[in-house]
Amino acid sequence: MTLIMGVLNVTPDSFSDGGLWLEPGAAIDHAVELVEQGADIIDVGGESTRPGAHHVDPVDEQARVIPVIRALAGRGITVSVDTMHASTARAAADAGAAIINDVSGGLADPEMPAAVLDTGLQYVVMHWRGQSDTMDSLAHYTDTTAEVRAELSTRLTDLVQRGVDPSKLIIDPGLGFSKTAEHNWQVLGNLRAFETLGYPVLIGASRKRFLGSLLPAGATAADRDAPTAVISALAAQAGVWAVRVHDVVSTSLALEVVRAWQAGTDD
């Protein structure tokens, strides 16, 4: 069944939960709560990737995330580190992380492929066209699914040619990263096309801007949890490996529905 990756943003400026979990004790407590609610993996990030966000120096990023990763891994929790920096990925591996989640798919830091190779961790290759200050201007496609798929495929080929074990790779089409709402729906409506690349697929729709347009004016980030949970169910039906979400309770329930639905289906 589809896994749940719970989001733990140890940042002052993430759009939906910025500043809430900046203090390590609060971050650790929140992660433990997410696991109790059904998260299989905790994705710890120290740099906001929202459009226009400030870049974080890897030293500051590591000061935020490494103590939290060490504490969570020490409790037996499967941790991924959400970073574009090779030095942070290496430090996270030393602290016990199991997965490197790189929203740039290795494009932001030329040292990242070597870090993936040396640490031997699983590696999420997300579709990315540029940093948060330029990504919206790069949201142009004639065939969204085909182009995102081809660009991911190029990244995968590059990593495998550098010696990365293909069994360690996970792909993510990168909802909202150089993609408009229309592009995001095209990606979601064609998830099977990404699965045919032959790698586990991760989807991160949680609380993203494109869900806001489905809601009344003035809706909060948390109001996006209901549409997020529906996407989790539909993505699970489409066979994705994992969904990355802020609210684990609603997605856990959505996946229970899928499980029950599938159990009730005649073969």
CA distance 105 to 113: 9
To ligand PMM, the closest distance from the beta carbon of 176 in angstroms equals 7
Instruction: Give the nearest distance from C-beta 205 to ligand PMM in angstroms.
Output: 7
Q: Are strands 169-172 and 41-45 parallel, antiparallel or unpaired?
A: unpaired
- Least separation in angstroms between CB 185 and ligand PMM: 15
Q: Are 6 and 35 in contact (CB under 8 A)?
A: yes
Q: How far apart are CA 128 and CA 64, in angstroms?
A: 24
Nearer to ligand PMM among residue 28 and residue 175 (C-beta): 175
Residue pointed to by tokens 């099977």: 192
Instruction: Spot the catalytic one: 149, 179, 208, 224.
Output: 208
As given in the structure block, the two tokens for residue 202 are: 């991760």
**Nearer of residues 66 and 128 to ligand PMM, judged by Cβ:** 128
Of 41, 43, 55, 56, residue with least CA distance to 17: 43
User: Would residue 208 show up in a list of annotated catalytic residues for this protein?
Assistant: yes
> Between 104 and 264, whose beta carbon lies closer to ligand PMM?
104
Q: Interface with ligand PMM by CB under 6 A: which residues?
A: 7, 9, 14-16, 45, 48-50, 82, 101, 103, 124, 126, 172, 174-175, 202, 204, 207, 244
- Closest-CB residue for ligand PMM? 204
Which of the residues 64, 129, 224, 244 is marked catalytic?
244
Q: In the complex, what is the shortest distance from the CB of residue 32 to ligand PMM, in angstroms, rounded to a whole number?
A: 19
DSSP result, 194-230: HHTTSS-BEE--TT-HHHHTTS-TT--SGGGHHHHHH
Catalytic residue set: 208, 244
